[in-house]
Structure 1
């Protein structure tokens, strides 16, 4: 259970629609599709209608500050089967990175790796009260692309399972290069929050609107006006 799972969901029935990719930057083919994630007849580049409208606002805010820069859509809607695939993939990758094999893992090693995986990845829950954020169509993973078409360096890649993923990891750095990473992360946060999103406290790239995490973060910062989630898990 995550803290935001306490938030009740009152599904509003808003449709999930295609992201107008021509207005954003996008990685093609999709990074998880390249790994073999089972999207079936679903597209990863879909979101709830209001989430897309907010993304367009964020893109407009970005252009006021940096003409010809773009928000890059890394990942959006994620069926439960894809969530399960990526959790399993990340566990296997972490085992490989430690130069181990699954059969030789000690119970403590196995637990440590699973804790690292679930620090980044939501559990692929089928419980309608605890949906993974991306499975609601209300969460999106994004970064920035500059006016030369180059991905802006944020100091760590999306999905990295380390403390470098924490949004403020470089906040107190005294090195000019790493200070730039924090400035870039702040820019991304500023344009997204101005458009109504909330940012995952553990991931600089993950933003949400309308789901449980969004409601929980709103309520943390504005307890006098609590809100509930209006996006649940999509079928």
Structure 2
């Protein structure tokens, strides 16, 4: 399901459809964010919950083709930050994972512990020494996502998996529906 179909619509800044990512090159031919239907509908509920508070989501990544997952693994080779496609094929490749942050009603990102794709201890959900405002915002995001069936990822404050991600197969073809 395309995330542009959600109402209210989250902001999209698909980092892998641009060179603004850890590989420094565009990995997607077009900025088309998709998730499996139940996952997208849960994300829509998060977006509605946050809108009532004057906040919203910005999506950095959603469904990811297996070839892109392999390219990322070949570069990082650290399972704390990138799934090894040979082990579980990845979460994004199933259309069940999303990378997000919080934005205010004008679309401005709220301060978070780190930037997206920060492969350091500071990006971990339990990182010590994070300024209070940043830690509070990350906790607020985590709680909003978990209320609607997502699970946080310990080493990336921005990454959330749908609760039943392992029950769904890797998407074969262009994108999930």
Give TM-score scaled by structure 2 length: 0.83
Shift of residue 55 of structure 1?
A: 0.4
Aligned pair count reads 163
Shift of residue 61 of structure 1?
A: 1.4
C-alpha contact 1:131 1:233 (8 A) present in aligned 2: yes
Shift of residue 152 of structure 1?
A: 1.0
- Which position in structure 1 is the counterpart of 2:16? 32
Shift of residue 131 of structure 1?
A: 2.2
Shift of residue 43 of structure 1?
A: 6.1
* Alignment equivalent of 2:157, drawn from 187, 191, 204: 204
Tell which structure's C-alpha radius of gyration is larger. 1
* Distance in 2 between residues matched to 1:24 and 1:59, nearest whole Å: 7
- Which position in structure 2 is the counterpart of 1:58? 46
* Distance in 2 between residues matched to 1:43 and 1:148, nearest whole Å: 21
- Which position in structure 1 is the counterpart of 2:3? 19
* Distance in 2 between residues matched to 1:43 and 1:36, nearest whole Å: 10
* Distance in 2 between residues matched to 1:81 and 1:33, nearest whole Å: 14
C-alpha contact 1:43 1:77 (8 A) present in aligned 2: no
Structure 1: stretches of 5+ with no match in the other structure: 1-16, 92-113, 213-228
* Distance in 2 between residues matched to 1:134 and 1:75, nearest whole Å: 8
* Alignment equivalent of 1:181, drawn from 134, 138, 153: 134
**1:51-106, CA deviations, whole angstroms, 9 ceiling, x for partnerless residues?**
01100111111122x22x211111000011111222344x4xxxxxxxxxxxxxxx
- Which position in structure 2 is the counterpart of 1:77? 63
Shift of residue 196 of structure 1?
A: 1.1
**Structure 1 or 2: larger strand share?**
2
Higher relative contact order (CA 8 A, sep 6+): 1
SS of the equivalent of 1:62 reads: helix
C-alpha contact 2:2 2:32 (8 A) present in aligned 1: no
* Distance in 2 between residues matched to 1:167 and 1:24, nearest whole Å: 23
Cα RMSD, aligned residues only: 2.0
* Alignment equivalent of 1:232, drawn from 164, 169, 173: 169
Shift of residue 197 of structure 1?
A: 0.9
**Structure 1 or 2: larger helix share?**
1
C-alpha contact 2:124 2:155 (8 A) present in aligned 1: yes
C-alpha contact 2:94 2:165 (8 A) present in aligned 1: yes
